[in-house]
Chains A and B, each alone.
Chain A
């Protein structure tokens, strides 16, 4: 392939997909292993992170949830999204060495995913918490528990909303 064509590829329009495709093509031309073009293709196919994904990442980082007893109790159908009661609890001895540090509650499709974060100490005696949240429409509610040993637990429930909250 002539040198000119490579230049055209690199200086092509600056849409992300084009640049990635160009990079992949250039890598191919230069005889760079096909691995880098695979990576470029993967990057192009990856959808943008949602507000919820970002909020979850802020809590968990890159950690994966472990198995454990985290209970998120919330109605399957909410007639009024303005006030949906819920409770969250983790089975934990709540001792100085083994306790629940925090519980986070998120709504996957609200304009702002944050609902509340609760923090506990061994003096709390229990990590049970109950409150009420808003849901703009049918979506999942996610509870994340942060344990004193650094592990995370996660529970997810779908709530059908008849009348949305969060709005006018």
Chain B
């Protein structure tokens, strides 16, 4: 579906701290409104869902519509409950998923 997503977390985090998470995935986010050079409608193809969980608990979820730009970028926050690992999942219109797991360095 797409290339490896980019994920930015703070280098270290403390328990109870509210941290910022930034993610970006390369994707055309075709709206379904455009026509190609021959006048044919270009079918819709977008990443329609994103979810983030930490230590098995969901912390943030996004439903994306065609109004979201290509290469969807998402920035959101989390209160650090303790040591753990993030799981980020992107899902496209065809149902294909890309999942990434990243450990948070809790000090």
Could you tell me which A residues sit within 8 Å of B by CB distance?
82-84, 87, 94, 105-107, 110-121, 123-126, 128-134, 165-168
A125-B78, A168-B34 are known contacts. Are A133 and B69 too (CB-CB below 8 A)? yes
Query: How far is B59's CA from A118's CA once the two chains are assembled, in angstroms?
Result: 11
Query: How far is B65's CA from A166's CA once the two chains are assembled, in angstroms?
Result: 12
- Give the size of the chain B interface in residues (CB under 8 angstroms): 29
Contact B60 A131 (CB under 8 A): no
Which residue in B65, B66, B73, B77 is a CB contact (below 8 Å) of A126? B77
Query: How far is B58's CA from A119's CA once the two chains are assembled, in angstroms?
Result: 10
Query: How far is B69's CA from A54's CA once the two chains are assembled, in angstroms?
Result: 22
Contact B35 A168 (CB under 8 A): yes
Which residue in A94, A130, A167 is a CB contact (below 8 Å) of B33? A167
Interface string of B63-83 (1 = CB under 8 A from A): 111111110111111110100
Query: How far is B79's CA from A163's CA once the two chains are assembled, in angstroms?
Result: 39
Query: How far is B58's CA from A111's CA once the two chains are assembled, in angstroms?
Result: 32
Contact B18 A112 (CB under 8 A): no
Which residue in A106, A116, A128 is a CB contact (below 8 Å) of B64? A116
Residue pairs across A and B with Cβ atoms less than 8 A apart, 9 shown, are: A94-B79, A117-B63, A118-B63, A120-B59, A120-B60, A125-B18, A129-B60, A131-B62, A132-B73
